[in-house]
Amino acid sequence: MRESVLLILRVDPHTSNEDIDFKIKEFKHLADSAGYDIKGVVIQKRSPDIRYQIGAGKVEEIKRNVMGVDKVIFYNRLSPTQVYNLTKMFNVETIDRLNLILEIFAKRARSKVAKLQVELATLTYELPRARELTSILKRRERPGFMGLGRYGTSYADDIQRRILKLRRELKTYTKSQKARRKRYRSLGIPRVAICGYTNAGKSTLLNALVGKRCTKSANQLFTTLSPITRSMRIDGRKVMLTDTVGFLEGLPHFMIEAFRSTFSEIYEADVILLVVDASEHHKTIRRKLKTSHSTLFNDWCERPIITVFNKIDKAKCFELEPVRHLAPNPVIVSALNQEGIEDLKTKIGELLPPLETKEIILPMSPESLKKLSTLYKRGIVRELHFDSCIKVIYQTSHEEMKKIKEALDVR
Ligand SMILES: Nc1nc2c(ncn2[C@@H]2O[C@H](COP(=O)(O)OP(=O)(O)OP(=O)(O)O)[C@@H](O)[C@H]2O)c(=O)[nH]1
Ligand SMILES: [Mg+2]
């Protein structure tokens, strides 16, 4: 049976209805993606209260209706004192949106690296809270109180030690990831990364570009956590395509930091596909594009970006003009119906690092046929002429051209 939750959002007094709607829609989608049954939503417009985040009167009101709910989730970030006070008032576990996101991540983490990253993010969030909660519980002599039982005296020190260990383990992974990239680079195979707001259709797009179902897509947030890479051909050229974890508004820096190795798939790509759901209102599109750009530029990123407006089959009146300034190289597609995919491939081809074209002459011999098969594997054979010798019009990256000519001993 699904656990039931009550969602609470506090906004400042002058917040627009549009902003509230955006936050609530996303908050509900997050709770639903985590598998909760939403029993109710409470919104309060006021400045933050230091004890409870929402007003004390509102807390009393909710307290009367919170019976039968398994958990209370706040959209706002809660301080450890607020967690303690609210848990005490409601008598059920009370968490915030970041805990909720971390719960989803923990559910989705399959690979060893993803599990390490999620644990690192969770503990980084937990550490300062653990310190403060331990001291609150000690002062009030309430060890083991309502879901706060783990905050014993050595808990914060244990977390600190575990964080250091996780960082070391993730470093080892980063090294092997670097070695893999170096190999692709030395073979002259370019890399394309798919990124964008969560649920924009990134995984569906990877499936459409590769031409088969390689990864799961679903109408929930953070379906994809670990990057997956598949090869595809763009105008005959082999390209590695990577699908990555989605972006979300208000993700703190420490979370992006914990997923550094995943995000580096984006920063180190030759071309970035920034996917956005074109079926939403242009104000939502603008907001999600802004979040995506600020997440991307969190680190320095100078790669060419193609803005992929997806789900055009569902869009009632898509207009590019209001968001054009945030959308370099726009291409409009429906990944689900495979519309516009060829145009997108053409655009990717235009932005990939340029290829070098050379004429290669091979003598007529069985040995040359072996060399020819290597040429096919490692680059693009544009033309092939058999005469007294074999003439190949060959294309590959500049570095690879040098290497292959040396390896095959051809001119
Ligand atoms: N109508 C329509 N739906 C689409 C299209 N592309 C994706 N979807 C749907 O949008 C939802 C999300 O798709 P995903 O491919 O999982 O999105 P994602 O960006 O990978 O999501 P996360 O991995 O959760 O960040 C799914 O229900 C897809 O079927 C499209 O072109 N048209
Ligand atoms: Mg996905």
- Dump pLDDT digits (tens) for 46-58: 999 999 999 999 9
pLDDT at residue 262, as a whole number = 84
- Determine the distance separating the centroid of ligand 1 and the alpha carbon of 203, expressed in angstroms: 7
Return the closest-CA partner of residue 368 out of 387, 348, 351. 387
Phi, psi (rounded to 5 degrees) for 31: -60, -40
Which tokens go with 209?
Answer: 């570009």
In this model, does residue 300 exceed pLDDT 80?
Answer: no
In this model, does residue 63 exceed pLDDT 60?
Answer: yes
**Domain residue extents for the chain:** 4-107, 113-168, 188-351, 356-408
Strand pairing class (356-363; 389-396): antiparallel
Q: Which ligand is closest to the CA of 208, given by its number?
A: 1
Which ligand 1 atom sits closest to the C-alpha of 243? 20
Return the closest-CA partner of residue 202 out of 246, 163, 236. 246
- The CATH classification number of 188-351 equals 3.40.50.300
**Percent of the chain clearing pLDDT 70 (strictly above):** 95
pLDDT at residue 324, as a whole number = 94
Mean pLDDT of the chain: 90
Distance between CA atoms of residues 309 and 121, nearest Å: 31
Query: Phi-psi region for residue 16, left (φ > 0), alpha (ψ -120 to 50) or beta?
Result: beta
Same fold, 4-107 and 356-408: no
pLDDT at residue 149, as a whole number = 58
Which tokens go with 224?
Answer: 């994809």
Q: Which ligand is closest to the CA of 315, given by its number?
A: 1
Say if residues 301 and 307 touch (Cβ distance below 8 Å). Answer: no
- Determine the distance separating the centroid of ligand 1 and the alpha carbon of 279, expressed in angstroms: 11
For atom 27 of ligand 1, the residue with the nearest CA is 219
For atom 13 of ligand 1, the residue with the nearest CA is 201
The CATH architecture of the domain made up of 4-107 is 3-Layer(aba) Sandwich (3.40)
Which ligand 1 atom sits closest to the C-alpha of 207? 15
Q: Please report, for residues 6, 17, 94, the alpha-carbon distance to residue 69 in angstroms, rounded to integers and kept in the order given.
A: 7, 27, 11
The length of the chain, given as a count of residues: 411
Which tokens go with 109?
Answer: 């983490």
Q: Which ligand is closest to the CA of 223, given by its number?
A: 1
- Determine the distance separating the centroid of ligand 2 and the alpha carbon of 213, expressed in angstroms: 12
Q: pLDDT tens for residues 127-169? A: 988 888 777 777 765 555 555 556 666 778 889 999 999 999 9
Which ligand 1 atom sits closest to the C-alpha of 200? 19
Indicate the range of 67-76, 113-122, 130-139 predicted with least confidence: 130-139
If one compares 49 and 407, the residue with the highest pLDDT of the two is 49
User: pLDDT tier at 299 (50, 70, 90 boundaries)?
Assistant: low
- Determine the distance separating the centroid of ligand 2 and the alpha carbon of 96, expressed in angstroms: 24
Q: pLDDT tens for residues 230-266? A: 999 998 888 999 999 999 999 888 888 888 888 888 8
For atom 6 of ligand 1, the residue with the nearest CA is 201
Class of domain 356-408: alpha beta
In this model, does residue 17 exceed pLDDT 90?
Answer: yes
pLDDT at residue 181, as a whole number = 80
Which ligand 1 atom sits closest to the C-alpha of 198? 25
For atom 11 of ligand 1, the residue with the nearest CA is 219
Q: pLDDT tens for residues 346-377? A: 999 999 988 899 999 999 888 888 889 988 88
If one compares 406 and 34, the residue with the highest pLDDT of the two is 34
Indicate the range of 11-15, 151-155, 180-184 predicted with least confidence: 151-155
Among 217, 279, 312, the mutation site with the greatest number of ligand 1 atoms within 8 A of its Cβ is 217
Among 104, 108, 197, 199, the mutation site with the greatest number of ligand 1 atoms within 8 A of its Cβ is 199
pLDDT at residue 199, as a whole number = 97
Which ligand 1 atom sits closest to the C-alpha of 310? 31
Indicate the range of 172-186, 344-358, 381-395 predicted with least confidence: 172-186
- Exposure string over 188-215, b if 16+ CB within 10 A, otherwise e: bbbbbbbbbbbbbbbbbbbbbbbeeeeb
pLDDT at residue 301, as a whole number = 63
Say if residues 228 and 209 touch (Cβ distance below 8 Å). Answer: no
pLDDT at residue 200, as a whole number = 98
What residue ranges line ligand 1, CB within 6 angstroms?
A: 198-204, 217-219, 221-224, 246, 310-311, 313-314, 334-336
Say if residues 291 and 280 touch (Cβ distance below 8 Å). Answer: no
Per-residue DSSP letter, 48: P
Indicate the range of 131-140, 197-206, 400-409 predicted with least confidence: 131-140
pLDDT at residue 397, as a whole number = 84
In this model, does residue 320 exceed pLDDT 80?
Answer: yes
Place of tokens 């009146």: 317
Return the closest-CA partner of residue 139 out of 147, 162, 131. 131
Q: Please report, for residues 7, 91, 320, 329, the alpha-carbon distance to residue 151 in angstroms, rounded to integers and kept in the order given.
A: 25, 17, 51, 51
Cα 85 to the center of its chain, rounded Å? 34
Query: Phi-psi region for residue 222, left (φ > 0), alpha (ψ -120 to 50) or beta?
Result: left
N-to-C CA span, the chain: 70
